[in-house]
Amino acid sequence: MSAKAKPEAIAVDTLSFETALKELEGIVSRLEQGQVDLEDSIALYERGQALKARCESKLKAAESRLEKIVQGAAGPAGSEPVSLD
């Protein structure tokens, strides 16, 4: 693997949402340019999949926290769906 295409060595499960998203955007950009060889593309794609899963996990956790805040002490009767769009 070339130094240019080498994915970050930081474990995905330790990244913040913002850091994971920024790295994922960088990977997508590099793959879209089409100037990465096949082996590096595969490694980048695998890293991208892990970053995508991390971002989805962090978003679901945030959504769950927001729903708990909306529910408050009233319980499920006060529940409102949260839109993160």
Give the domain range for residue 31.
Answer: 12-70
Q: Is residue 75 part of a domain?
A: no
Asked if the structure places residue 77 within a domain, the reply is no
CB 68 within 8 A of CB 78: no
Global pTM value? 0.72
pLDDT-based confidence at residue 78 (cuts at 50, 70, 90): low
- In this structure, is residue 84 part of a structural domain? no
Q: HSE (CB half, 13 Å, CA atoms) of 49?
A: 5
Whether 33 maps to a domain, the answer reads yes
Q: 1-51: per-residue pLDDT in tens?
A: 444 545 557 899 999 999 999 999 999 999 999 999 999 999 999 999 999
10 Å Cβ neighbour count for 55?
A: 19
> What is the domain count for the chain?
1
- How big is the CA angle at 23 (ends 83 and 39), to the nearest 5 degrees? 125
Lowest-pLDDT choice from 13-17, 31-35, 61-65, 67-71:
67-71
